[in-house]
Every structure is written in structure tokens, then in C-alpha cells.
Amino acid sequence: MSANSPMEGFEVFPTRPGFIRHNGGIFLHCERPVIGMHIAEEHLNPLRIAHGGYLATLADTAFGAVLRRQYDLPVAPVTVNLSVDYLAAVREGDWVEVEVKVHKFGRTFISASCELKVGERLAVRANGIFTVWTGAIPAIA
């Protein structure tokens, strides 16, 4: 397997020009509420481990991709709060997976959490509060 091919069961998550595409894109599992990606040099901080901002990005993207598919939304929900716990380092070359659990999909807000793992090792946990986007949606670029 080349460094950029998805792991089995994942497919490329379609992106528009912007932050996720600029940082290498992600893969979405075809069935499970999970995204995956490879950590490359462009994701590292000066200590040569994955930057906390990129890991927060993965958590936020996992929430959006999973919620959008699971609830058939036209766009990802709006993030109101994202809280990220950094538990262990993630390194260049690691294949990481982020699994989402939805705790409440209510009338006024959505609550979900996720775990980012490298194999069986838990590296990051995140918690999010979201609302459904009700504004206009830009035409696809």
C-alpha cells in the first residue's frame, strides 16, 4: 500500500478547495462513523509530532462528516464549542482513525464526542456542541 492510499473500507472524502484539501484530505469509512488519514510532515509541530491544531481539525472534520451523513444534512453542522484533550503524541507516518459518537441530536443543539487512535492507542479525545446550519449554502466551487 502506498502512503496515500486509504485503509480498507475507507473512501476518499470529497473536498472543495480550502483547509482540508490544502492539508491533504481525509478518508471516510464506508459504514462506520470513522474518518482516517496519514500524518505527513506538513502536519507536524516543531517537536516533530502532529500539531494540536491539526488534530483539532481532524476531530472537527470527523464530527462534521459523520453528522452530515448520519442525519442527511446538506452541510456539516456549525461548531459551537470544540474541546480537545491531548493524551499522547501522534507521529509522522501514523495512520490515525477518529471515531464519532453522537450523544444527543436535539431541537436546539447536537452533542457528540470522538476518539482519535493510532492502532489501539488513544491519542486524542474531543467533545463538541453543534447546531444545524440553516443559512444559505455556497455553490460548489
Q: Smaller CB distance to a second copy: residue 9 or 123? A: 123
Give the x/- contact pattern for a second copy in 62-91, rule: CB under 8 A.
Answer: -------------xx-xxxxxxxxxxx---
Instruction: Provide the CA 139 distance to its chain's centre, in angstroms.
Output: 23
Please pick, from the candidates 5, 9, 12, 19, the single residue that binds a second copy as defined by CB under 8 A: 19
Of 85, 87, 66, nearest to 130 by C-alpha is 66
Angle at 26 between CA 21 and CA 28, to 5 degrees: 135
Tell me the residue type at 80. V
The site for a second copy, by CB under 8 A, has a size of 55
Burial class (CB in 10 A: 0-12, 13-18, 19+), 18: exposed
Contact between 137 and a second copy per CB under 8 A: yes
Q: What are phi and psi of 38, to 5 degrees?
A: -95, 140
Binding residues for a second copy (CB under 8 A)? 15-20, 22-23, 41-48, 50-54, 56-58, 60-61, 75-76, 78-88, 103-104, 106, 108-109, 111, 113, 122, 125, 127, 129, 131, 133, 135, 137-138
